[in-house]
Structure 1
Amino acid sequence: MEFTRRYLPMDWEERWRREKERRKRVIEEGGEGIEQDNRELRRIVAYNDSRMGLTSGRGNNEGSEVRMSGAGQERTGELMSDEVFGDEGRNIHTCCSKNYPKEVFASLQELWDSSLLTDLTLTTENGNSFHVHALILAAVSGFILERLKIKCGEQSVEQSDNEEALQVHRWSVHTGAGVDHVGLRAVVEFAYTGVVVSLNKVTMAQIKAAAQVLVVPRLVELCNNKERLKEGDCALKEERTVSTVEQMKITFQAIEQLWAERVGCDVTLNVDGSFFHVHRVILAASSDYFRGMFTCGMRESRQTCVELHFLFAPELEALISCSYSGNLLLSWDSVFEITCTALQLQFQPALLICLNFMHQEIQADSCLDVASFAEAYGMSELLEEANDFVLRNFREVSATAKFQDLPAEKLLNFLCCDGLCVPSELAVFRAVISWIEADPEERLAQAGLLMTGVRFPLMTFREFREVRAINLRMECFGDKEVELYGSALKEFGFSLPKSQDHCRVRRPKDVVVLIGGDQLNQDVGHRIPSRELWFVNSLRCGTGLVKDIEWRRLSEIPDKPKFRHGVAVMEGMLYVVGGCYFYAKDDIMKSAYRYDPVKDSWKRLADMQEFRSNFSMVVHEERLYAIGGDKDINTNVDSVEMYNPDTDSWSFARPLDQALSGYAVAVLNEGVFISGGFNCEYVCLVSMFLYHPERGTTYLADMTNERAQHCMEALQGHLYVAGGVCNLRKFYTDQQACEVYDPVADAWTAFASLPVPHVGAASVVLEEKFYVLGGYCQDDYSESGLVHRFDSSTQRWENMGKLPGAVTDIQACLLRLPQHLRQ
């Protein structure tokens, strides 16, 4: 079967040549498995057609539908990535899933429970036996490891005598005296789960004896710790015990070491002369494809060498390495090929790592490739994310070389979308002109159609002057004359710029929610604390640089009004804690509530142990932490409380080094960073430190400017600080200078100052932009309620509109709301 070769990039040219040669060889040898190869080749062709902007109906529906679990931030939180650099300067990331060992051992336990691929029988003196995987037991037991090495040596001799051997070797070990049924079961349980549920004072002696005979040092240590704890050894309580997850990681690392030494490898994979020595059980635990191959009676389940004609060695090598380490070395040069192979062989953990990489590392010069790949393989959620990235970063994407290869139809779809984010409509016009100029002879005929996606009424007169200057009345090409300026002028002059049809209206997936706060009633001259929750349903881009926010009322706190309170979001739930309901000494609260956006309902939680206001709350390792704050109007505290949602209880964590309130806090790379604030004498600080609930405080480089009542948010691996007040002789004044912290360099750098003061404001990061909401001016106590947004790509602040209600001492967060609330 012959396929037409399209315009493929150079790396795919070589792949195409190899594929044709391989297919010719397979056909000459009998054509075995050709239909499966045909499907794979059609998939490759469909992907390349799509990524190069070519339309083809072939293969687009043959890729598996991939469902990515949960919201974007929940899913991507599982991916950990360290950046390194290749020889040619390309960024290569070591990516892994922190839950990978736990997931693999769950699969291994399933195989063990079903007696699938078990190759070792352990027997005790009284005749009890267990069928297990030799590799897993060898990873924890020195006794089994020594016998496995001996067995591997014997099998090597047998294999050299019979290269065509198809039989998988099964063997048995007698544990000898001192190991009974109870002890052996505990050793096996520990090997597969990292814990022994049956370990108690009744079984202690039997389990410890078995662990000593079978040389399982970690289980012996577990027994010793249990004995010491029973005897009331206080020193043990201060020691750091090894958790179940950590035990699994240690066992997993031992398995990886055995693979590196080729101990117990029971199958060899042959890919075009490249041989990979592996363990069947590990491949079966990582890949549904290999699980089916090795457990469903196929011929390959009895072979010691399996030939895989349809694969490429580099991609398979990466996936095998991931099966043993949980790590993938990924770059934009390799991720698509590895993902293709992971899909084909159903390496689900590796596939999720690849998809998370595409989500987290997507950039202006890679987003169009991601979109084409997702479309070719039927990955609807990834396609939606990639297209949304294009819309959010349209100006940056339009400056890339790959933008010039977009088909006119896809470009028009982006232009006509309400959610297109641009500083002004002039950026849309410039993008269309650059696309046409990339190939004017072919594309000029489509200019008129594409210009219908430019919303000329949203331009100012100054912007439209540039439109007129770019030779809108194009030269004649062939028989066609392209007239653009007249229609653009007509649309600019006679359309209604305020109509819904012309505004760009973007509805982010996550919404900004505003909680509580305070404001001055100008009519009666007194303050009005708030119980209301508002959310941003859409962002509107009007004429020129004019922006606006569509606010909607969400709910009402079932408590007294709150300001200077703590807010956090954990597992999709909103937590609102503490704060003030007025300005007297006894008006500070310690109550806590949780809001469920799906049920649109509130639940009263256990009160904090201390009254707190002017503090912040963060999520760290699935717990809430309320840090410092004021316990009355003149006294702040150093205490930190942790909330456990499983028990609905608060307990004290390690305190701060000093009393602190009015600070700003943000979480970056699982670290809790705290900047500025008031000390016990209510002096504004320049400090920056890392807080850990067990290890306490680690001081970092000081800020350039002291500040309190300010905002800090994590954005693109840095911490952005803005607003607040600072010390000036004996009184406070507005702090409008802004700075950004680089945690790698431990250094601060200034960025654009705020256009107006924002003291006691709220802040969030929405779609990679830093929002500062509300606050007041310290110098004259005026309240503007303005919302400003910082765009790191332009290094500018934008005025986004005003708040709907309370404007000072407010809190904000991002929340995913049910769709019916946003209709």
Structure 2
Amino acid sequence: MREATHDPATPLATGLSPAELRLLLSFAYTGAVAGPWPAVLEAAETSLRYQAWGLLTLCLDVFTRGLTPETGLDVLAFAVAYGLAQVGRVAEDYILATFPSVVATPAFLDLPAHLLIRLLRSDGLNVLHELEALEAASRWLMANGNGQEDLAKEVLSSVRFALMSGRELKKVPSVAAGVADPKVLRELMVESLAPMAQLPCRVRSLQEVLVVCGGDKLTANLAARKPSRHLWFAHRYLSAVGLVKRVEWRALGHFPDGPRFRHAVAVVGNILYVLGGKCYYGVRDTLASVYRYQPMDDSWERLASMTCGRSYFAAVALGDFIYALGGSSGEIYCTDTVECYDLTPAFPCPRRCQPLPMALCGHAACALDGTLYVSGGCDEACQCQASLLRYSPGEPAKLLAPMNGQRAGHIMEEAGGQLYVAGGLCQRDGQTGYRDQLAFEVYSPKLDIWVLLSPLPHAHVAGGAAVLGGELLVLGGYSHETYKDTHLIHAYQPGTRRWITRGTLPHAYTDFQACVLTVPPALQWVPPVVSGNPPPPGYMP
């Protein structure tokens, strides 16, 4: 009753401003924080000032779940200012992983110097090549340096010149022009390239790395196709001539039972599960075997086989379960059967689940908010589908808004609470046969709508995909219109809404799988760039 008669235009005796009072009362009555991003920041500051712990918990949840390149820097600065270590770690990890997108935001220029230096000195800074780190530092100094030589030297000393190629080093003076004395810049370069400085120079790498598993490829003489049994991981990205960058790939391991392609993989707690696929091209070469791989000790364990062989199918991890959905089973072109593995027992075994509403192969599946989503694929009549299914075990599958176009042999990945689909093939308009599907679109589960984005720059049919460093990576596959395999890796950056070429695969693979894993630090050791030093075991120049 007092609130109803109180004049909100006058400050209270407690020191609360009218804006702060409205904010606290709004939360007390609604239990929610409404408004644009500045309002959420203001709510968090007010909750700390007046110890409104419920409001603070809600704000911190918004911070950690809704990070974007535009808001990540605000959250990091807030966490550092108020000593919120856990929130700060989440924000910092996100900024390091999405650094190219963060640098493009106006908020980057407002970053305090000590936080910029902290980011530039991190081993986890995600840059395509070290020149990107120098470009970011130079952009910040142009806006904040104001001729401060000591500040410029401290910031630029965080750049790892020893990781640059000769071609990149030649570009350093032009990139850093106007932000530091050329003599100081030259001293930093010489100091970092001196032989005694080589050993402590560490390659920048996210804790997680991109891994490609198995697949099908042409032989070196282009005379035949040969399935692969190898697992490779992307160790680092190197600068090269032109738009296509070079990726240094290293061997991680190989399948214990020979090659496989058209298989499926799932990752649970940094453990890789490999299911089904084909070992060769015959009707009877479809596999039902399942393996569990632990990259930290390079160990394989065979689990109970699936109830039937599967290829061209999808496998998704959801909680403590892995679901294998549909696919081609031996002589059966496509099936509607679903089975799942409960991972809690020491020796998981499969069990049959509620089937899909229609038989599918070449489809894609993904988990989001405790639900499985299945998109596209081919039916028993070899017709490409545009459907999206929501599949919850024990409940009837529900048809959601269809995609803007048909697709099969495509990829679907979750990022930022949305589902992205890319690649694959579709039916020709008014004609028989198929064509490459270059359309790229994103699905919002909250709105149940699809939105078209920038199309793929290259065909990727039966390729692989992963989300790493805030980017959607689409890898390999082939073009159905030219029947040429591709070894290209394209990355979509949500912050800049553009596609870039991230590099190339070890080979032009099709029908393979990609995932993200943490690998042993020993595999990521980089030899000093000193003439005469022998390379470590497994090093691939």
1:440 matched to which residue of 2? Answer: 146
Counterpart selection for 1:766 from 462, 468, 472 = 468
Q: Please give the alpha-carbon distance, in whole angstroms, between the structure 2 residues aligned to 1:507 and 1:423.
A: 10
CA drift of 1:574 comes to 1.5
Say which structure is richer in helix: 1
2:257 matched to which residue of 1? Answer: 559
Counterpart selection for 1:724 from 403, 424, 435 = 424
Alignment map for 1:246-395 (pairs within 5 Å): 331-335=40-44, 357-372=62-77, 374-375=79-80, 382-395=87-100
Segment drifting more, 589-598 vs 612-621: 589-598
Alignment map for 1:394-473 (pairs within 5 Å): 394-398=99-103, 403-404=108-109, 406-415=111-120, 417=122, 419-421=124-126, 425=131, 428-429=134-135, 432-438=138-144, 440=146, 443=148, 446-447=151-152, 449-452=154-157, 472=178
2:234 matched to which residue of 1? Answer: 536
1:642 partner letter:
C
Alignment map for 1:666-681 (pairs within 5 Å): 666-681=366-381
Q: Please give the alpha-carbon distance, in whole angstroms, between the structure 2 residues aligned to 1:375 and 1:585.
A: 60
Is 2:320–2:344's contact at 8 Å kept on the other side of the alignment?
no
Counterpart selection for 2:398 from 670, 679, 698 = 698
Q: Say if 1:432 and 1:581 are closer, same or farther in 2 by CA, change over 3 A.
A: same
Counterpart selection for 2:279 from 578, 581, 585 = 581
Is 2:124–2:207's contact at 8 Å kept on the other side of the alignment?
no
1:787 matched to which residue of 2? Answer: 489
Segment drifting more, 584-593 vs 508-517: 508-517
Counterpart selection for 2:36 from 85, 89, 110 = 89
Is 1:761–1:810's contact at 8 Å kept on the other side of the alignment?
yes
Q: Say if 1:618 and 1:389 are closer, same or farther in 2 by CA, change over 3 A.
A: closer
SS of structure 2 residue aligned to 1:506: coil
Is 1:459–1:544's contact at 8 Å kept on the other side of the alignment?
no
Q: Please give the alpha-carbon distance, in whole angstroms, between the structure 2 residues aligned to 1:452 and 1:730.
A: 61
CA drift of 1:406 comes to 4.4
CA drift of 1:363 comes to 3.7
Q: Say if 1:83 and 1:683 are closer, same or farther in 2 by CA, change over 3 A.
A: farther
Residue 611 in 1 paired to residue 309 in 2?
A: yes
Q: Please give the alpha-carbon distance, in whole angstroms, between the structure 2 residues aligned to 1:752 and 1:733.
A: 18
CA drift of 1:673 comes to 1.3
Residue 642 in 1 paired to residue 340 in 2?
A: yes
Is 1:774–1:787's contact at 8 Å kept on the other side of the alignment?
yes
CA drift of 1:462 comes to 9.4
SS of structure 1 residue aligned to 2:277: strand
1:569 partner letter:
V
2:7 matched to which residue of 1? Answer: none
Q: Say if 1:372 and 1:734 are closer, same or farther in 2 by CA, change over 3 A.
A: closer
CA drift of 1:752 comes to 2.0
CA drift of 1:545 comes to 5.7
Q: Say if 1:578 and 1:364 are closer, same or farther in 2 by CA, change over 3 A.
A: closer
1:320 matched to which residue of 2? Answer: none
Higher Rg of the two aligned structures: 1
Q: Say if 1:395 and 1:801 are closer, same or farther in 2 by CA, change over 3 A.
A: closer
| Structure 2 gaps, min length 5 | 1-10, 17-29, 526-541
Q: Please give the alpha-carbon distance, in whole angstroms, between the structure 1 residues aligned to 2:291 and 2:504.
A: 27
1:816 matched to which residue of 2? Answer: 518
CA drift of 1:795 comes to 2.1
SS of structure 2 residue aligned to 1:333: helix
Q: Please give the alpha-carbon distance, in whole angstroms, between the structure 1 residues aligned to 2:242 and 2:188.
A: 16
1:508 partner letter:
L
1:778 partner letter:
H
Counterpart selection for 1:653 from 353, 358, 361 = 353
Counterpart selection for 2:204 from 478, 494, 506 = 506
Q: Please give the alpha-carbon distance, in whole angstroms, between the structure 2 residues aligned to 1:665 and 1:596.
A: 23
Q: Please give the alpha-carbon distance, in whole angstroms, between the structure 2 residues aligned to 1:340 and 1:553.
A: 53
Counterpart selection for 2:437 from 735, 758, 761 = 735
CA drift of 1:422 comes to 5.1
1:386 partner letter:
A
CA drift of 1:607 comes to 1.4
Q: Say if 1:645 and 1:466 are closer, same or farther in 2 by CA, change over 3 A.
A: closer
Is 1:584–1:633's contact at 8 Å kept on the other side of the alignment?
no
CA deviations on 1:394-428 (whole Å, 9 max, x unpaired) are: 45545666645545454344345565445774785
SS of structure 2 residue aligned to 1:798: strand
CA drift of 1:640 comes to 0.8
Q: Say if 1:785 and 1:544 are closer, same or farther in 2 by CA, change over 3 A.
A: closer
Alignment map for 1:588-599 (pairs within 5 Å): 588-599=286-297
TM-score (ref. length: structure 1) = 0.52
1:722 partner letter:
A
Q: Say if 1:539 and 1:564 are closer, same or farther in 2 by CA, change over 3 A.
A: same
Is 2:43–2:55's contact at 8 Å kept on the other side of the alignment?
no
1:332 partner letter:
L
CA drift of 1:549 comes to 2.6
Q: Say if 1:546 and 1:634 are closer, same or farther in 2 by CA, change over 3 A.
A: same
1:801 matched to which residue of 2? Answer: 503
Q: Say if 1:583 and 1:437 are closer, same or farther in 2 by CA, change over 3 A.
A: closer
2:305 partner letter:
D
Is 1:566–1:577's contact at 8 Å kept on the other side of the alignment?
yes
Is 2:272–2:294's contact at 8 Å kept on the other side of the alignment?
yes
CA drift of 1:582 comes to 0.9
| Structure 1 gaps, min length 5 | 1-13, 20-81, 93-330, 475-481
CA drift of 1:672 comes to 1.3
Residue 518 in 1 paired to residue 216 in 2?
A: yes
CA drift of 1:662 comes to 0.2
Q: Say if 1:756 and 1:508 are closer, same or farther in 2 by CA, change over 3 A.
A: same
Is 1:436–1:444's contact at 8 Å kept on the other side of the alignment?
no
TM-score (ref. length: structure 2) = 0.77
CA drift of 1:709 comes to 0.6
Is 1:506–1:539's contact at 8 Å kept on the other side of the alignment?
no
Q: Please give the alpha-carbon distance, in whole angstroms, between the structure 2 residues aligned to 1:822 and 1:569.
A: 21
Is 2:262–2:512's contact at 8 Å kept on the other side of the alignment?
yes
Q: Say if 1:500 and 1:789 are closer, same or farther in 2 by CA, change over 3 A.
A: farther
CA drift of 1:438 comes to 4.6
Q: Let me know the Cα RMSD of the aligned residues.
A: 4.1
Q: Please give the alpha-carbon distance, in whole angstroms, between the structure 1 residues aligned to 2:343 and 2:41.
A: 40
RCO comparison, higher one (Cα < 8 Å, 6+) = 2
Q: Please give the alpha-carbon distance, in whole angstroms, between the structure 2 residues aligned to 1:753 and 1:392.
A: 24
Is 2:406–2:426's contact at 8 Å kept on the other side of the alignment?
yes
Q: Please give the alpha-carbon distance, in whole angstroms, between the structure 2 residues aligned to 1:695 and 1:467.
A: 60
CA drift of 1:713 comes to 0.8
Q: Please give the alpha-carbon distance, in whole angstroms, between the structure 2 residues aligned to 1:371 and 1:771.
A: 26
CA deviations on 1:46-79 (whole Å, 9 max, x unpaired) are: xxxxxxxxxxxxxxxxxxxxxxxxxxxxxxxxxx
CA deviations on 1:662-698 (whole Å, 9 max, x unpaired) are: 0111112222111111100111111122122222321
